[in-house]
A and B are shown apart, each in its own frame.
Chain A
């Protein structure tokens, strides 16, 4: 799926593929940086988990998915939602709790949904999206549809029973499921080595009898390559695949987290491998972009984010008397029956 295009795109020179990847990551980062400001200003509330540093994962994996495929994400899913093509206006409006939000203000930062794009959330119980993703894949398998369900989750979810139940079930039934483990080295504040006896997650996933390998999650091209390989193999009927994306979040777990459990040096080391900087450097070295082109990308991202904020501010709130809407479907056949 190509990155979302704004109205300003029409005037920008066509970007080549790597440039689109660069923009895909950049817009997520600028979007979330704006979220931090809005949170500090008390405009956005609740839990907000930032993806900053991990953008290469969502953007790279999405290159391997088609519109017919399905995505299940986590509570750290602004990046996945934007990469999947949910308009920035709808994602921002959701955080504002507005009626035009992609979940009509009922979900907030952790629960973005878009049925039309087969984006199934937005799940905030760690590991809770995995069984659901297996079910989406099961439906495709039973109907013989060559689609992939892609489930994002973290190294924390790897410690949950749901991961192990789902991995076994998916491998047993050869489900068309792409398991994307975003290993950012921390389950909230607990380091990988303090929560896993064996920290080689790809190795453990392989024990379920599925193709499984680690990928540099800070290199969007490596992520794209791995995801394409896995998705192709899944579409060919090879059953579930597991990718361990080794990545890092620069910001704290959530806006409430004082971040006492890691060192500034460690964060700086990972920032030196920043996926956006790395790709920009590469494109510049290859003569594909110059300073002016990079500045244009920045302007485009700033415009898109500013447009999303403006739209969210103007959007109406859902009337409170609609509170009980959508608890159950409006007209159920059972009520119509006799």
Chain B
């Protein structure tokens, strides 16, 4: 098992490298899994004829048919629970919950069945289920459609929580997630679907245990995940112009957290800013901050900074929404507080 964060490699320009989007990468991952294993099927609201609310499964109905690309009623608890039952019976379901906001209607099934059955049954009932859902704010969808609840799910023992933030992770995290005998939740930030770039088709399954250093640096660590990764990278670019070398750590797996990678980056830079789109109180940012205190306290040259969303239901108006969310300038300001 790798104990240090992997350093992101620039995908090599080769015949197996194609330009794609995050959305297409996820679709390719699902299609590949379904071709490889007839136990795999996709189930969720509007995944079939509509092509997925975010277009992720567009065209899959035509290839795999309605039995395996299964449109469901708007019954999040029932179809998520049905995914759990089908997994118990030996299938490998991918349940798509349209957004994290609606996953609250299935939270009982996820927490009390999927995450719990293996332990509560004394090891008899593993649940090899993958749940995908869109998360995050930034598209003026107002309070009920803008939640970032990855931290809630990362609180739960018994499930693995993934936050692919790159095209490569969107493409290659699904196969090992499906191979995991336990439930895996994949959070896809809505702002990432149109991310475009090269994808190495032959990269092989992603490692689901390691965080990744997306940019190396000496002066401060920006620790983040999901939709905030592009913002952290932009901030690092701006900071470089100001002569501050920021390292960017992409957590990738939110449960279990890759403690060694968090400790290692802080040991290199001695300062940290945690960037998390969730509300600050009781957040993953809080957990990471506490872990730095527990594991790397004597490495720190400054208090850990956190850049999170304002503690408010996310508003509709563009300027109000942007004021509520972590911004590049907020990250830069936090870095200056830590460094100056």
Interface residues of A, Cβ cutoff 8 Å to B: 70, 101-107, 111, 113-115, 120-123, 125, 128, 130-140, 142, 149, 161-162, 165-166, 168-169, 172, 325-329, 332-335, 337-338
Cross-chain contact of A334 among B88, B109, B176 (Cβ < 8 A): B176
> Min CB distance, B306 to chain A, in Å?
28
> Min CB distance, B129 to chain A, in Å?
9
Residues of B within 8 A of A149 (CB): 85
Give me 24 A-to-B residue pairs in the complex whose CB atoms sit less than 8 angstroms apart, sorted by A's number: A103-B120, A111-B121, A121-B117, A132-B109, A134-B78, A135-B84, A135-B86, A136-B85, A161-B77, A162-B77, A165-B73, A166-B78, A168-B78, A169-B73, A169-B78, A326-B123, A329-B182, A332-B179, A333-B176, A334-B176, A334-B179, A334-B180, A334-B208, A334-B209
CA distance A267 to B256 in the complex (A): 52
CA distance A122 to B176 in the complex (A): 30
Interface residues of B, Cβ cutoff 8 Å to A: 1-2, 41, 67, 72-73, 75, 77-91, 93, 108-109, 112-113, 117-126, 157-158, 160, 176-177, 179-182, 204-209
Contact indicator B125/A165 (Cβ below 8 Å): no
Which of A123, A139, A334 has the largest number of chain B CB atoms within 10 A?
A334
CB nearest to A141 among chain B residues: B67
> Min CB distance, B301 to chain A, in Å?
34
CA distance A328 to B209 in the complex (A): 14
> Min CB distance, B41 to chain A, in Å?
7
Contact indicator A337/B208 (Cβ below 8 Å): yes
Closest 8 CB pairs of A and B: A135-B85, A131-B81, A104-B122, A139-B89, A165-B78, A165-B75, A135-B82, A113-B121
Cross-chain contact of A337 among B109, B181, B207 (Cβ < 8 A): B207
Contact indicator A121/B121 (Cβ below 8 Å): yes
CA distance A310 to B72 in the complex (A): 50
Contact indicator A134/B125 (Cβ below 8 Å): no
CA distance A102 to B125 in the complex (A): 12
CB nearest to A332 among chain B residues: B180
Contact indicator A136/B181 (Cβ below 8 Å): no
Residues of A within 8 A of B85 (CB): 120, 131-139, 149
Contact indicator A333/B78 (Cβ below 8 Å): no
CB nearest to B79 among chain A residues: A169
Q: Do A128 and B120 contact each other (CB < 8 Å), given the known contacts A135-B87, A142-B91, A337-B205?
A: no
Contact indicator A139/B91 (Cβ below 8 Å): yes
> Min CB distance, B278 to chain A, in Å?
24
Contact indicator A326/B179 (Cβ below 8 Å): no
Contact indicator B119/A142 (Cβ below 8 Å): no
CA distance A237 to B180 in the complex (A): 33
Residues of B within 8 A of A114 (CB): 124
Contact indicator A120/B122 (Cβ below 8 Å): no
CA distance A5 to B206 in the complex (A): 51
Contact indicator B82/A128 (Cβ below 8 Å): no
> Min CB distance, B97 to chain A, in Å?
13
Residues of A within 8 A of B208 (CB): 334-335, 337
CA distance A287 to B220 in the complex (A): 89
Residues of A within 8 A of B90 (CB): 139
Residues of B within 8 A of A103 (CB): 120-122, 124
> Min CB distance, B4 to chain A, in Å?
13
Contact indicator A136/B89 (Cβ below 8 Å): yes
CB nearest to B90 among chain A residues: A139
Contact indicator A131/B125 (Cβ below 8 Å): no
> Min CB distance, B82 to chain A, in Å?
4
Which of B85, B120, B177, B205 has the largest number of chain A CB atoms within 10 A?
B85
Contact indicator A325/B158 (Cβ below 8 Å): no
Contact indicator A131/B78 (Cβ below 8 Å): yes
CA distance A136 to B182 in the complex (A): 17
> Min CB distance, B239 to chain A, in Å?
31
Residues of A within 8 A of B73 (CB): 165, 168-169, 172
CA distance A138 to B209 in the complex (A): 32
Contact indicator A327/B119 (Cβ below 8 Å): yes
Q: Do A120 and B87 contact each other (CB < 8 Å), given the known contacts A131-B77, A142-B41?
A: no
CA distance A329 to B86 in the complex (A): 18
CA distance A168 to B82 in the complex (A): 12
CA distance A162 to B125 in the complex (A): 22
CA distance A325 to B124 in the complex (A): 12
